[in-house]
Amino acid sequence: MMDAQSLQERIDRVEGKRELLLKFQADPNLGDLSLDVDQALIEMDDLMSEFRRTFPSGIIEPLRE
Rounded Cα distance between 22 and 26, Å, is 6
Rounded Cα distance between 48 and 29, Å, is 28
Which pLDDT score is estimated for 62? Answer: 54
Per the domain annotation, does 40 fall within a domain? yes
Per the domain annotation, does 61 fall within a domain? no
Shortest CA distance to 37 belongs to which of 54, 13, 20? 20
Rounded Cα distance between 41 and 23, Å, is 11
Give the pLDDT of the chain (65 residues) as one tens digit per residue: 677 788 888 888 988 999 999 999 999 999 999 999 999 999 999 999 998 898 887 766 555 55
Per the domain annotation, does 31 fall within a domain? yes
The structural domain count of the chain equals 1
Per the domain annotation, does 28 fall within a domain? yes
Per the domain annotation, does 35 fall within a domain? yes
Which pLDDT score is estimated for 61? Answer: 58
The whole model's pTM is what? 0.73
Per the domain annotation, does 26 fall within a domain? yes
E strand or H helix that includes residue 20? helix 4-25
Per the structure, the complete domain to which residue 20 belongs is given by: 4-54
Per the domain annotation, does 64 fall within a domain? no
Rounded Cα distance between 43 and 35, Å, is 12
